């Protein structure tokens, strides 16, 4: 009797045993996929993780339908790593498998399949089976796998579908087709025949009787001269027209006369080429020292933190390190918090490493994803360096030598939904361990946890305190909103100082970024007179306003109070609960600066597939003067013409009910401020706040990361948060309010009795009902000296007993380990 042990792509913690023939037994290897029946009449793509001869005790093993691979497509290290993720993050192995694999590799009976639009199909090249499927799709828009089984009258149809997908004829329903094409910018240069001195004479002769054309050519020479002193940037058609006060018709005429020629370049490449000559990258003194220190640290530690201020040139250090690892022939993984950032970075890396750089992201279409998957699996040169968001962690690396986690503090590295709720930075460190690879974490504002690990010698620590090229850190100026409102110096949400600075920047042709945190919407009660926001007495977080109960609540300990009628700090009765958003800021700007071009970047304007990239491109190309945005702006973008950054209201970030609020406020403000003045001129940042003396605001102003760190660390210890305590958050959901209330109380009581550690809750979150489901949360804080593994086992046991109670069975429990 021969069996295989498989993982199914379903939310199941167990693996399953299927029976195979002796021949199949000889053929199958761990990491191959097999199609298997499951449930009543469903078929799934399962992954073989074991080949054995142990008959399952509890059920009759079904036979597999077919073997889908000739060679393993998942490595043993991956299987190990996925098991680690499942166990550490308390999620089903099936969930890990499903989110790790490109969906085209996971065909199942429910998958919808349709024909690619606007393609020519040479039917003579199709096999009989392929043709039948193709023909059926001429009658119907889409087919389910089950339909195809009926059409072909056989079970083994996955290979047929796979072939048609490979041939680019079929697509799986959910995939996104378009690919982002970076915008091309049009430039002009002098025709090569005029480049010599004699040529110049001839040119002047030609233009003798064309004054307007002559003017624009002279202006072109002037521009070239000034640009040369500033690092020799090519000249855009747009800029030349503006500077010469001319028209595109005249340029067109000059191009026809072969005085000028135009050419197109991708915006990213240009910025890049402008600064680095001949592809030869020379590190500055500081960068070189950091580079050597990182290597030194890798000689005895696995993980190193590179803490370098914004614009210190961390990317260039990454490039130098990648260069060294490339030479060893090992694979390199470059993780980014969000794919939106890659457009800029991929360009920078490709300029060095050409086609050795592959990009992987869940938004890429199936073919591209499978292509990268296979290249990585085959250790091909084309994907020796893989850049991607957190899901790139799941690729079938063979021989990983080096992982970079860029902007390691970003919370998007933690997957919130669905399971597995893993943290890509932490999972990357575990993965590196299996490969004996090194990990570099990079940030200008490291997370408290990471800096703590670096300070306590678990990680290496390398720091750069200066910007590249002696560019100064931006000058941060605080504007006291209380004072400004009192003196009536406000126009809408803009102080006179901010308006003045924006005017100045715009006059100089420089761009402005205004930052308004989305979180401003979270309802807190704020005093208009003094800016005071009521805080929880036990938890160091702001109380959240619950309108329906007219109550203030703490989300962490459940403390409540009636909504106050007056401010507890200054007794004023002018209390407000309204936040304000980016949209309102944009509206106000339109009236204050009617002649400027204003753009907005938030979840609403970037919803389209490439909304984010389009806005960034358009801002880079200087089609906008002012960009208003949310925290999306804080993400490592490199704009060279931004001289002013305005933070509209620093306070609503600070008073978000979250133990990380101060840390995040510091990170966000420092990162946004870091967008100012990235070239020669010192940038300026205006921070509008009711609390200019707040420690966090002062720390941002003084660029005092260490001050922030020490203060937060102290609080974390007192209030029992990471890095001193690990947090597991349980979210319970159920449509029936009373059932949920009972169930969550039951679970809370069992947990607090059985766990020797703080258990908080059951708490009603600010949004206590989503899609008709009521929500309760319970938080477990695991102290450092307690085994996290055992605690999880205990929790799992309690959850099992919870599920065994009939009336609680319908309550959904979601686990979030290391909740962010």
Closest contact distance (angstroms) between CB of 640 and ligand ADP is 7
Q: Which of residues 540-569 bind Zn ion (CB under 5 A)?
A: 554, 556-557, 559, 567, 569
- 686 contacts 497 by C-beta, under 8 angstroms: yes
Closest contact distance (angstroms) between CB of 188 and ligand ADP is 24
Q: Give me 59's structure tokens.
A: 């059920």
- Shorter beta-carbon distance to ligand ADP: residue 14 or 282: 282
**Under rule CB under 5 A, residue 720 binds Zn ion:** no
Q: Which of 319, 387, 288, 412 is nearest to 667 (CA)?
A: 412
Closest contact distance (angstroms) between CB of 710 and ligand ADP is 23
Closest contact distance (angstroms) between CB of 312 and ligand ADP is 4
**Under rule CB under 5 A, residue 416 binds Zn ion:** no
The β-bridge relationship of strands 460-464 and 303-308 is: parallel
Distance of CA 280 to the CA centre of its chain: 30
- Shorter beta-carbon distance to Zn ion: residue 204 or 718: 718
Look at residue 51 and give the partner it binds from ligand ADP, Zn ion, none, a contact being a CB closer than 5 to 8 Å depending on partner kind.
Answer: none
**Under rule CB under 5 A, residue 54 binds Zn ion:** no
Look at residue 701 and give the partner it binds from Zn ion, ligand ADP, none, a contact being a CB closer than 5 to 8 Å depending on partner kind.
Answer: none
Closest contact distance (angstroms) between CB of 482 and Zn ion is 9
- Shorter beta-carbon distance to Zn ion: residue 137 or 759: 759
Look at residue 186 and give the partner it binds from Zn ion, ligand ADP, none, a contact being a CB closer than 5 to 8 Å depending on partner kind.
Answer: none
Look at residue 638 and give the partner it binds from Zn ion, ligand ADP, none, a contact being a CB closer than 5 to 8 Å depending on partner kind.
Answer: ligand ADP
Closest contact distance (angstroms) between CB of 694 and ligand ADP is 26
Look at residue 275 and give the partner it binds from Zn ion, ligand ADP, none, a contact being a CB closer than 5 to 8 Å depending on partner kind.
Answer: ligand ADP
Closest contact distance (angstroms) between CB of 677 and ligand ADP is 11
CA distances in angstroms from 30 to 7, 51, 401, 805, 820, listed in the order given? 11, 7, 24, 38, 35
Closest contact distance (angstroms) between CB of 666 and ligand ADP is 16
Look at residue 160 and give the partner it binds from ligand ADP, Zn ion, none, a contact being a CB closer than 5 to 8 Å depending on partner kind.
Answer: none
- Shorter beta-carbon distance to ligand ADP: residue 201 or 469: 469
Q: Which of 354, 359, 426, 417 is nearest to 388 (CA)?
A: 359
> How many Å apart are CA 372 and CA 383, to the nearest integer?
7
- 703 contacts 473 by C-beta, under 8 angstroms: yes
Query: Phi/psi at 508 (nearest 5 deg)?
Result: -85, 5
Look at residue 315 and give the partner it binds from Zn ion, ligand ADP, none, a contact being a CB closer than 5 to 8 Å depending on partner kind.
Answer: ligand ADP
- In our burial notation (b when 16+ CB lie closer than 10 A, e otherwise), range 359-377 reads bbbbbbbbbbbbbbbebbb
Closest contact distance (angstroms) between CB of 587 and ligand ADP is 32
**782-434-783 Cα angle (round to 5):** 10
> How many Å apart are CA 760 and CA 764, to the nearest integer?
11
- Print the binding letters for residues 507-536 with Zn ion: x by CB under 5 A, - otherwise: --------------------x-xx-x---x
**Under rule CB under 5 A, residue 99 binds Zn ion:** no
Look at residue 572 and give the partner it binds from ligand ADP, Zn ion, none, a contact being a CB closer than 5 to 8 Å depending on partner kind.
Answer: Zn ion
Mutual orientation of helices 128-139 and 145-152 as an angle, nearest 10°?
A: 120
Look at residue 643 and give the partner it binds from Zn ion, ligand ADP, none, a contact being a CB closer than 5 to 8 Å depending on partner kind.
Answer: none
**Under rule CB under 5 A, residue 538 binds Zn ion:** yes
Q: By Cβ distance, which residue is nearest to ligand ADP? A: 313
- HSE at residue 359, side-chain half, CA atoms within 13 A, is 21
- Shorter beta-carbon distance to ligand ADP: residue 228 or 578: 228
- Shorter beta-carbon distance to ligand ADP: residue 314 or 409: 314
Closest contact distance (angstroms) between CB of 470 and ligand ADP is 11
**Under rule CB under 5 A, residue 485 binds Zn ion:** no
Q: Give me 98's structure tokens.
A: 């499903």
Mutual orientation of helices 267-275 and 342-353 as an angle, nearest 10°?
A: 50
**Under rule CB under 5 A, residue 289 binds Zn ion:** no
Closest contact distance (angstroms) between CB of 683 and ligand ADP is 13
Look at residue 530 and give the partner it binds from Zn ion, ligand ADP, none, a contact being a CB closer than 5 to 8 Å depending on partner kind.
Answer: Zn ion
> How many Å apart are CA 448 and CA 20, to the nearest integer?
51
The β-bridge relationship of strands 16-20 and 33-38 is: unpaired
Closest contact distance (angstroms) between CB of 470 and Zn ion is 44
Closest contact distance (angstroms) between CB of 541 and Zn ion is 6
Q: Give me 231's structure tokens.
A: 């690092």
- Print the binding letters for residues 116-135 with Zn ion: x by CB under 5 A, - otherwise: --------------------
- 73 contacts 29 by C-beta, under 8 angstroms: no
Q: Give me 93's structure tokens.
A: 């192995």
If 0-12 CB within 10 Å is exposed, 13-18 middle and 19+ buried, where does residue 217 land? buried
> How many Å apart are CA 685 and CA 677, to the nearest integer?
9
The 3-class SS string of 574-627 reads CEECCCCCHHHHHHHHHHHCCCCCEEEECCCCCCCCCHHHHHHHHHHCCCCCEE
> How many Å apart are CA 600 and CA 611, to the nearest integer?
11
- Shorter beta-carbon distance to ligand ADP: residue 316 or 480: 316
Look at residue 468 and give the partner it binds from Zn ion, ligand ADP, none, a contact being a CB closer than 5 to 8 Å depending on partner kind.
Answer: ligand ADP
- 343 contacts 335 by C-beta, under 8 angstroms: no
Closest contact distance (angstroms) between CB of 539 and Zn ion is 3
Look at residue 313 and give the partner it binds from Zn ion, ligand ADP, none, a contact being a CB closer than 5 to 8 Å depending on partner kind.
Answer: ligand ADP
- Shorter beta-carbon distance to ligand ADP: residue 290 or 575: 290
Look at residue 529 and give the partner it binds from Zn ion, ligand ADP, none, a contact being a CB closer than 5 to 8 Å depending on partner kind.
Answer: Zn ion
Q: Which of 92, 93, 91, 67 is nearest to 80 (CA)?
A: 93
Q: Give me 714's structure tokens.
A: 């102290």
Closest contact distance (angstroms) between CB of 557 and Zn ion is 3
Look at residue 375 and give the partner it binds from ligand ADP, Zn ion, none, a contact being a CB closer than 5 to 8 Å depending on partner kind.
Answer: none
- Shorter beta-carbon distance to ligand ADP: residue 533 or 634: 634
> How many Å apart are CA 588 and CA 700, to the nearest integer?
27
Rg (CA), the chain: 30
Look at residue 702 and give the partner it binds from ligand ADP, Zn ion, none, a contact being a CB closer than 5 to 8 Å depending on partner kind.
Answer: none
- Shorter beta-carbon distance to ligand ADP: residue 31 or 674: 674
Closest contact distance (angstroms) between CB of 639 and ligand ADP is 10
Prior bond of 611 cis (ω within 30°) = no
Which helix (DSSP H) or strand (DSSP E) does residue 5 occupy?
A: strand 2-7
- Shorter beta-carbon distance to ligand ADP: residue 318 or 545: 318
Q: Which of residues 564-583 bind Zn ion (CB under 5 A)?
A: 567, 569-570, 572
- Shorter beta-carbon distance to ligand ADP: residue 396 or 677: 677
Q: Is 344 helix (H, G, I), strand (E, B) or coil?
A: helix
CA distances in angstroms from 770 to 196, 419, 735, 767, listed in the order given? 71, 18, 9, 7
Closest contact distance (angstroms) between CB of 552 and Zn ion is 11
Pick the piece of the chain touching Zn ion (CB under 5 A) from 93-101, 206-214, 281-289, 537-545.
537-545
Which residues of the shown chain bind ligand ADP in the complex (CB under 6 A)?
275-276, 281-284, 287, 308, 310-316, 468, 638, 678
Among 539, 543, 654, 747, binds Zn ion (CB under 5 A): 539
The β-bridge relationship of strands 260-266 and 184-190 is: antiparallel
Q: Which of 409, 469, 416, 472 is nearest to 441 (CA)?
A: 409
> How many Å apart are CA 393 and CA 509, to the nearest integer?
42
- Shorter beta-carbon distance to ligand ADP: residue 312 or 643: 312
> How many Å apart are CA 321 and CA 403, to the nearest integer?
10
Contacts of residue 487, defined as CB under 8 A and 6 or more positions apart, other chains included, come to none
What are the residues binding Zn ion (CB under 5 A)? 527, 529-530, 532, 536, 538-539, 554, 556-557, 559, 567, 569-570, 572
């Amino acid at each position: 009797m021969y069996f295989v042990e498989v993982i199914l792509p379903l939310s199941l913690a167990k693996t399953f045993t299927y029976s195979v023939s002796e021949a199949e037994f000889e053929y199958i290897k761990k990491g191959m996929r097999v199609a298997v029946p499951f449930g009543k009449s469903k078929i799934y793509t399962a992954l073989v993780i074991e080949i054995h001869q142990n008959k399952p005790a509890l059920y009759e093993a079904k036979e597999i339908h077919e073997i889908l691979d000739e060679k393993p497509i998942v490595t043993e290290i991956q299987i190990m790593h996925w098991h680690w993720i499942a166990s550490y993050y308390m999620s089903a192995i099936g969930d890990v498998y499903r989110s790790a694999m490109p969906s085209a590799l996971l065909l199942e009976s429910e998958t919808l399949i349709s024909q690619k639009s606007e393609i020519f199909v040479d039917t003579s090249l199709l096999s009989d089976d392929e043709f039948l499927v193709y023909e059926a799709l001429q009658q119907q828009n889409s087919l389910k796998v089950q339909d195809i089984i009926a059409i072909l009258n056989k079970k083994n149809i996955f290979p047929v579908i796979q072939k048609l997908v490979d041939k680019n004829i079929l697509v799986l329903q959910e995939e996104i087709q378009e690919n982002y094409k970076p915008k091309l910018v049009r430039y002009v240069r002098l025709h090569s025949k005029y480049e010599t001195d004699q040529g110049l004479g001839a040119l002047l002769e030609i233009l003798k009787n064309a004054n307007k054309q002559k003017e624009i050519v002279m202006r072109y020479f002037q521009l070239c001269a000034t640009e040369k002193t500033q690092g020799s940037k090519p000249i855009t058609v747009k800029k030349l027209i503006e500077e010469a006060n001319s028209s595109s018709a005249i340029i067109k005429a000059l191009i026809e006369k072969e005085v000028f020629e135009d050419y197109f370049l991708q915006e990213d490449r240009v910025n890049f080429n402008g600064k680095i000559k001949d592809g030869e990258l020379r590190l500055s003194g500081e960068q070189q020292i950091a580079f050597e220190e990182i290597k030194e640290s890798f000689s005895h530690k696995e993980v190193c933190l590179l803490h370098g201020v914004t614009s210190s040139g961390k990317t260039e250090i990454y490039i130098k390190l990648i260069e060294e690892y490339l030479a060893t022939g090992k694979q390199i993984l470059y993780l980014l918090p969000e794919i939106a950032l890659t457009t800029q970075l991929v360009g920078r890396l490709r300029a060095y490493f050409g086609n050795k750089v592959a990009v992987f992201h869940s938004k890429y279409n199936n073919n591209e994803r499978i292509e990268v998957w296979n290249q990585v699996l085959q250790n091909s040169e084309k994907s020796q360096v893989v850049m991607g968001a957190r899901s790139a962690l799941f690729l079938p690396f063979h021989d990983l030598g080096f992982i970079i986690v860029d902007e390691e503090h970003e919370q998007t590295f933690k997957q919130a939904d669905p399971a597995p709720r893993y943290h890509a930075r932490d999972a990357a460190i575990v993965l590196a361990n299996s490969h004996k690879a090194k990990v570099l974490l990079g940030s200008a504002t490291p997370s408290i946890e990471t800096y703590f690990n670096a300070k306590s010698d678990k990680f290496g620590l390398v720091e750069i305190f200066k910007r590249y090229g002696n560019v100064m850190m931006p000058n941060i100026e605080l504007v006291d909103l209380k004072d400004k409102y009192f003196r009536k110096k406000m126009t809408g949400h803009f102080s006179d100082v901010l308006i003045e600075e924006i005017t100045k920047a715009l006059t100089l042709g420089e761009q402005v970024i205004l930052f308004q945190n989305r979180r401003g919407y979270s309802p807190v009660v704020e005093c208009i007179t003094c800016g005071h926001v009521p805080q929880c007495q036990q938890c160091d977080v702001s109380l959240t306003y619950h309108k329906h109960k007219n109550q203030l609540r703490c989300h962490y300990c459940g403390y409540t109070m009636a909504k106050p009628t007056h401010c507890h700090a200054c007794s004023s009765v002018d209390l407000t609960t309204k936040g304000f958003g980016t949209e309102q800021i944009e509206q106000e700007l339109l009236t204050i600066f009617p002649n400027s071009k204003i753009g907005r970047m938030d979840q609403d304007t970037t919803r389209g597939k490439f909304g984010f990239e389009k806005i960034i491109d358009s801002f880079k190309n200087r089609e906008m003067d002012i960009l208003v945005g949310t925290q999306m702006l804080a993400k490592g973008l490199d704009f060279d013409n931004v001289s002013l950054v305005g933070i509209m209201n620093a306070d609503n970030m600070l008073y978000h009910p979250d133990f990380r609020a101060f840390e995040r406020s510091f990170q966000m403000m420092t990162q946004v401020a870091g967008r100012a003045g990235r070239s020669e001129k010192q940038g300026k940042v205006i921070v509008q706040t009711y609390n200019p003396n707040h420690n966090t605001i002062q720390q941002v102003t003084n660029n005092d990361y260490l001050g922030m760190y020490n203060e937060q660390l102290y609080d974390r210890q007192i209030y029992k948060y990471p890095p001193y305590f690990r947090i597991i958050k349980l979210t319970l959901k159920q449509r029936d309010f009373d059932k949920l209330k009972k169930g969550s109380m039951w679970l809370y009581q069992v947990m607090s009795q059985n766990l020797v550690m703080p258990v908080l809750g059951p708490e009603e979150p600010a949004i206590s009902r989503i899609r008709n489901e009521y929500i309760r949360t319970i938080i477990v804080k695991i102290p450092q000296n307690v085994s996290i593994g055992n605690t999880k086992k205990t929790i799992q046991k309690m959850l099992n007993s919870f599920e065994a109670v009939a009336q609680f069975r319908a309550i959904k429990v979601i686990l979030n380990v290391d909740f962010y």
